[in-house]
Structure formats: structure tokens, C-alpha cells
């Protein structure tokens, strides 16, 4: 009786709690479960496959745990075998079941890791666009080398076009993340890392800095906007038409610490800016502080 109450006492509140939380959370907000690009989609599927496979072991564990706790409690007078020994066969089985599941997961792991390697360019007929990303204290700078424009805390790109992000940092380390498009990649000073993402449809997606990088990092948010090709072209033109070039002096000002920066747009930029920012950590570079 007592144990029965106990089991109910564990399971009921747990179920209620989950239910309540689902209601509170509102399903549309679960960005990881609402992917908007092929990479995030595959990563979400991996989660589902992984969880399903593991439940094969986890569910029986729960059932056995509560059944045994209930059945073999002292008051119940079930069969009692204090000196029972289990056969080697039984032990082999205990090791074999998880081994098989983990072997399956290992194959999935190996394949998916190579498939989803963030450094690997996406296969597509569409010509990719390159966007260079610099983590600054505490804002994100996006440089478009082909379009010769730059933005802060806002990045726009055409839909269904592979985006080749190149990442570096001109400050502490950070992690660049657009949850609905795919996983993170670190941005580190003196190095260039890569992240290949794509949006399947137009939309605005939240982007963030996932690694602590000092006081203002929680305000280091940006919007990633996927638009149609023509919208992108006209947006680029509108930015180019502004008279706000990103020269060295402006860059040095931008690179100084400041928090919660609103989006900013630069009509032109130095072609070598990204490389110079990286090289600054290798040797003295002209102009960059």
C-alpha cells in the first residue's frame, strides 16, 4: 500500500508537471524542435532517433525499478532468495543489450558527425554566399566581402542559398548560434572557424552568443533574416546607398566595449578587414588597435 502511494506520488506530479510546462512553454517557442533549415532539421531528427533508441533501455528500467520496489517490499512476503547468484549468461545479457544499442548509436554518431561537420560546405546548385562574422565586445559584426557591406547585430541572406559563415573574434571567445538554422560554432581570436547553414524559407530567426565573453554578452543578440533573392538584392543596394562606410577609425570605435547595441549598417568596408582582424593577433597590423 505504502509503496503504491509512493509510486503514484512520483508519477502523478511528474506527469502533471510536464503537462503544465508544455502549456506554459507554448510549442511554437521550442526553436530546436521547429527547424527552419536543413541542418537544424537533421540535428532535430538525430535527437528524436537518439531518444527513441535509448527509451528501449530506459523504459524497462523504470518498469522494473517500480515493479521490484513494489513487489519485493518487506511487507509483501514475495519470494525471498537472499543468496541468489546470477549466471554468467545473465551477466553477458546485461552487458550485451546496452552494447548493441550503443553500437547502433555509434554508427549513427559516426555518420551524422561527418555529415553535419560545420566546416563542410553544403551541397547545392545555388551559388553560396560568404558572410564573415566577428565577435566584438559585445556585439556581432557581419562583413559581406562580395557585396562589400557590413552590419552589426543583424544579418540578412537569401533563402535556400548555402551561407558560408567564417567566424573570428576580436575579443574573448564566443559561440555563434542561430538555433532554428543549426548548431553553434566558436569564434576565436587569431583563428577563423567555419559554419555552413541554410534557411529553407523566408523568416526572421533569433541569433545569440552562447559563450560567456564578459559583462555585456547576454545583450549580444542578433536577428538572422532569410529573404527571397530579389529582396536580398534590393536590401544590399539600400545598404550600399547609405553613406556610412566602415573605415578603420569606425571599426576601432566599434571594437571598443559597449552593450546592447542596436542593428547598424555600413555601406562599404575594407576588403581585408576580416583578415586583418585575424592577423592582428599574429603580427602588428596597420591601423587596427
Partner 1 sequence: MSILFGKLTLAALPHEWFTIAGTIFITIMGIAVVAFLTHKKLWKWLWKEWLTSTDPKKIGIMYIIVASLMLFRGAIDAGMIWLQQSLSVGVSNGYISPNHFQQIFTAHGDIMIFFVTMGFLAGLWNLILPLQIGSRDVAFPFLNTLSLWLYIAGAIFVNLFFVLGGEFAATGWLALPPLSELQFSPGVGVDYWIWSLQISGLGTLLGGINFLVTILKMRAPGMTLMKMPMFVWTSLCSMVLVVSIFPILAATIALLTLDRFMGMHFFTTSFGGNPMMYISLIWSWGHPEVYVLILPAYGIYSEIVATFSQKRLSGYGSVVAGSIGITLLALLVWLHHFFTMGAGADVNAFFGIMTMFITVPTAALVFNWLATMYKGRIRFFTPMDWFVGFVFTFTLGGMAGVLMGIPGVDFQVHNTLYLVAHFHTMIIGGALFGIFAGITYWFPKATGFTLNERLGRYAFWCWIIGFFASFVPLYILGFMGATRRLDHYEASTGWQPLFIVAGVGLIIIACGALFQVLQIIVSIKQRKQNIDKTGDPWNGRTLEWAIPSPPPVYNFAIIPKVTERDQFWADKASKQTAKQVYEDIHMPKNTALGIYTSGFIFLFGFAMVWHIVWLAIVGLLGAISCVIIRSFDEDTEYVIPADEVAKMEAERKSFYG
Q: How far is the CB of 269 from partner 1 (least distance, A)?
A: 23
Give the residue with the Cβ less far from partner 1, 73 or 276. 73
Identify whether the C-beta of residue 92 lies closer than 8 Å to the C-beta of residue 124.
Answer: no
Q: Which of 166, 136, 162 is nearest to 274 (CA)?
A: 166
Query: How wide is the angle at C-alpha 189 spanned by C-alphas 187 and 191, nearest 5°?
Result: 75
Give the residue with the Cβ less far from partner 1, 218 or 238. 218
Give the residue with the Cβ less far from partner 1, 215 or 244. 215
Q: How far is the CB of 225 from partner 1 (least distance, A)?
A: 16
Total length of the chain: 289
Q: How far is the CB of 234 from partner 1 (least distance, A)?
A: 27
Q: How far is the CB of 147 from partner 1 (least distance, A)?
A: 26
Alpha carbon 12 to chain centroid, angstroms: 33
Identify whether the C-beta of residue 220 lies closer than 8 Å to the C-beta of residue 175.
Answer: no
Neighbours of 265 (CB within 10 A): 18
Q: Which of 157, 96, 151 is nearest to 126 (CA)?
A: 157
Give the residue with the Cβ less far from partner 1, 65 or 126. 65
Give the residue with the Cβ less far from partner 1, 80 or 127. 80
Dihedral of CA atoms 152, 153, 154, 159 in degrees, nearest 10, equals 120
Q: How far is the CB of 203 from partner 1 (least distance, A)?
A: 14
Q: Which of 232, 236, 235, 179 is nearest to 205 (CA)?
A: 179
- Could you tell me the maximum CA-CA distance found in the chain, to the nearest angstrom? 86
Q: How far is the CB of 240 from partner 1 (least distance, A)?
A: 30
Give the residue with the Cβ less far from partner 1, 81 or 241. 81
Amino acid at each position: 500500500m505504502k509503496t503504491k502511494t509512493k509510486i503514484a506520488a512520483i508519477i502523478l506530479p511528474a506527469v502533471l508537471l510536464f503537462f503544465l510546462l508544455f502549456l506554459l512553454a507554448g510549442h511554437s517557442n521550442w526553436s530546436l524542435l521547429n527547424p527552419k533549415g536543413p541542418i537544424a532539421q537533421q540535428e532535430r531528427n538525430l535527437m528524436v532517433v537518439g531518444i527513441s533508441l535509448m527509451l528501449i533501455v530506459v523504459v524497462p528500467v523504470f518498469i522494473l525499478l517500480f515493479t521490484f520496489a513494489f513487489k519485493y517490499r518487506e511487507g509483501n512476503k514475495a519470494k525471498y532468495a537472499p543468496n541468489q547468484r546470477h549466471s554468467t549468461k545473465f551477466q553477458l545479457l546485461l552487458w550485451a543489450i546496452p552494447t548493441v544499442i550503443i553500437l547502433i548509436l555509434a554508427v549513427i554518431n559516426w555518420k551524422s558527425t561527418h555529415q553535419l561537420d560545420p566546416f563542410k560546405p553544403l551541397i547545392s546548385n545555388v551559388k553560396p554566399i560568404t558572410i564573415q562574422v566577428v565577435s566584438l565586445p559585445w556585439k556581432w559584426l557581419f562583413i559581406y566581402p562580395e557585396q562589400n557591406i557590413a552590419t552589426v547585430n543583424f544579418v540578412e541572406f537569401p533563402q535556400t542559398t548555402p551561407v558560408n559563415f567564417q567566424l573570428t573574434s576580436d575579443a574573448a571567445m564566443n559561440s555563434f548560434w542561430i538555433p532554428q538554422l543549426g548548431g553553434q560554432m566558436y569564434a576565436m581570436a587569431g583563428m577563423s572557424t567555419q559554419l555552413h547553414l541554410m534557411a529553407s524559407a523566408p523568416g526572421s530567426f533569433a541569433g545569440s552568443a552562447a559563450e560567456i565573453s564578459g559583462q555585456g554578452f547576454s545583450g549580444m543578440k542578433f536577428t538572422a533574416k532569410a529573404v527571397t533573392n530579389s529582396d536580398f538584392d534590393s536590401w544590399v543596394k539600400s545598404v550600399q546607398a547609405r553613406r556610412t562606410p566602415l573605415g578603420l577609425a569606425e571599426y576601432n570605435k566599434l571594437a571598443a566595449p559597449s552593450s546592447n547595441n542596436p542593428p547598424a549598417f555600413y555601406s562599404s568596408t575594407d576588403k581585408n578587414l576580416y583578415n586583418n582582424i585575424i592577423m592582428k593577433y599574429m603580427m602588428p597590423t596597420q591601423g587596427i588597435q
